[in-house]
């Protein structure tokens, strides 16, 4: 067993702080890294040791620098958080080769799953339903042929995309001919790969994902599902657990799919299987996330399981203490992401936070990076906090979350709190009649 004594967090913001919190509980010392824009960031004040990455805001992507700091600080492990290098096999392999413990799935598994068409092909081979479309990257001629077989509309998707980016909706052959080469060039620029695949568009789909834990001893458990159907431009905004639409029978079937897939590829650590549910109740695997998710707190709230702690224990070589899939949940939890953004302009709102007042309500958890004087840089994702509510039922969680957001004051930058309130108090959300296309209706009408 590789006992982790000191852990470097290859990230920033609220997820770095979240990881520090669990490390303190476990008696593990933490190492923070930062760039010049983050020189006064909260995560640098909470860690046991702090190292400067460099003036370049994007040094969080510098593999060599991060590993050099890990060695210099004598860190025994690296946790990548989410975003940045968290799903990059090159980084995972470099960490493994350095002799430092990597808190995540093995690099060879990450490399396999970096191709979303490969995920589809593996699932298809295992008789796990996937959205109709290609099982490998395609060129224009192949895209045309498949689109004719499955019918329009279709999506052109980046084979190595992520975070809701690298997706183009195509409604006709004429559009496909016009957009295909443009989409390929866009995705080459964004993801350093010009490979794309095509997938049938499913109208009014719901996004359902499963949280999985797997250890090196072959044990795999599912901790329940999350619903993430409130999305803006394919990026999640509100998440909840459990889903209001998933039945016990659905859950059993999804658990079977997920565990079969993860066992087949030799997955280890925390991971997420993402599915779409169509209007007829059919589920289709769309991708596998190879890291901790932004929305992991809702699962923690309804199960009482600290997922970061489980990641660390798995990386140490321990056997999972959770022996069976989770079917019983401690109520209902909902999370809303708070962004520093100017809604009217549709732009991020960087700047310095001048005042913060947090709601003090039982059953409310806030994962954040905020204090007076916090600088919100323009270089990174503008998410600055996550507010999570838990109650005995869904309506109670909504009510509690709305109350908390009304009490949450952030001054100095504009935030998305008014938009979150509009979504949470809409008739459609309260009744659970949601899907991945409903955001604009809830916000703009």
Instruction: Spot the catalytic one: 277, 291, 313, 394.
Output: 291
Closest to 413 in 3D by CA, of 379, 372, 380:
372
CA torsion sign for 80, 238, 444, 415 is: negative
Closest to 267 in 3D by CA, of 223, 218, 308:
218
Residue 337 is a catalytic residue: no
Q: How many other C-beta atoms lie within 10 A of the C-beta of residue 269?
A: 23
Give 136-145's long-range contacts (Cβ < 8 A, gap of 24+): 136/197, 137/195, 137/196, 137/197, 138/196, 138/197, 138/198, 140/176, 140/177, 140/180, 140/181, 143/176, 143/180, 143/196, 143/198, 144/173, 144/176, 144/177
CA angle 234, 12, 443 (to 5 degrees): 30
CB proximity list for 344: less than 8 A, separation 6 or greater = none
CA angle 119, 58, 111 (to 5 degrees): 20
The two tokens of residue 285 are: 């695997």
Q: Which residue carries 């001629």 as its tokens?
A: 141
CA angle 46, 48, 53 (to 5 degrees): 85
SS3 21: helix
For residue 282, give Cα distances in angstroms to 95, 200, 225, 373: 40, 14, 15, 49
The Cα–Cα gap between 369 and 43 comes to 7
330, burial (CB in 10 Å: exposed 0-12, middle 13-18, buried 19+)? exposed
Provide the annotated active-site residues. Answer: 291
């Amino acid at each position: 067993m590789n006992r982790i004594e000191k852990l470097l967090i290859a990230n920033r913001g609220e997820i770095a702080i979240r990881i520090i919190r669990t490390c303190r509980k476990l008696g593990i010392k933490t190492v923070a890294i930062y760039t010049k824009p983050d020189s006064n960031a909260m995560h640098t004040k909470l860690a046991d040791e702090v190292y400067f990455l460099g003036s370049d805001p994007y040094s969080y992507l510098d593999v060599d620098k991060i590993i050099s700091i890990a060695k210099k600080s004598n860190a025994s492990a690296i946790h990548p958080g989410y975003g940045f290098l968290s799903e990059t096999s090159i980084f995972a392999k470099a960490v493994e080769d350095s002799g430092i413990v990597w808190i995540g799935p093995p690099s060879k598994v990450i490399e396999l799953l970096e191709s979303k068409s490969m995920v589809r092909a593996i699932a298809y081979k295992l008789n796990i339903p996937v959205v109709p479309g290609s099982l490998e990257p395609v060129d224009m001629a192949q895209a045309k042929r498949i689109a004719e077989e499955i019918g329009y509309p279709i999506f052109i998707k980046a084979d190595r995309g992520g975070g809701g980016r690298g997706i183009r909706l195509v409604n006709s052959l004429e559009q496909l001919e016009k957009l295909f080469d443009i989409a390929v060039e866009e995705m080459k620029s964004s993801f350093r790969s010009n490979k794309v695949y095509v997938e049938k568009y499913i109208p009014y789909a719901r996004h359902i994902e499963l949280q999985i834990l797997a250890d090196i001893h072959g044990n795999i458990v599912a901790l329940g599902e999350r619903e993430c159907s409130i999305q803006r431009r394919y990026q999640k905004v509100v998440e909840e657990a459990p889903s209001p639409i998933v039945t016990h029978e659905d859950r059993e079937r999804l658990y079977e799919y997920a565990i079969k897939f993860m066992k087949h590829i030799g997955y280890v650590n925390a991971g997420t299987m993402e599915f779409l549910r169509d209007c007829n109740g059919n589920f289709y695997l769309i991708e596998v996330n190879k890291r901790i998710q932004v929305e992991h707190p809702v699962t923690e709230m309804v199960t009482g399981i600290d997922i970061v702690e489980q990641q660390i224990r798995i990386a140490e070589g321990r056997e999972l203490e959770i022996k069976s899939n989770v079917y019983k949940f401690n109520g209902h939890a909902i999370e809303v992401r708070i962004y520093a953004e100017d809604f009217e302009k549709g732009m991020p709102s960087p700047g310095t936070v001048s005042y913060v007042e947090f709601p003090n309500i039982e059953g409310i958890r806030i994962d954040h990076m905020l204090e007076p004087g916090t600088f919100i840089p323009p270089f990174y994702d503008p998410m600055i906090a996550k507010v999570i509510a838990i109650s005995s039922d869904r309506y109670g969680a909504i009510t509690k979350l709305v109350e908390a957001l009304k009490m949450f004051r952030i001054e100095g930058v504009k935030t998305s709190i008014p938009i979150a309130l509009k979504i949470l108090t809409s008739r459609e959300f309260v009744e659970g009649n949601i899907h991945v296309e409903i955001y604009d209706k809830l916000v703009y009408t």
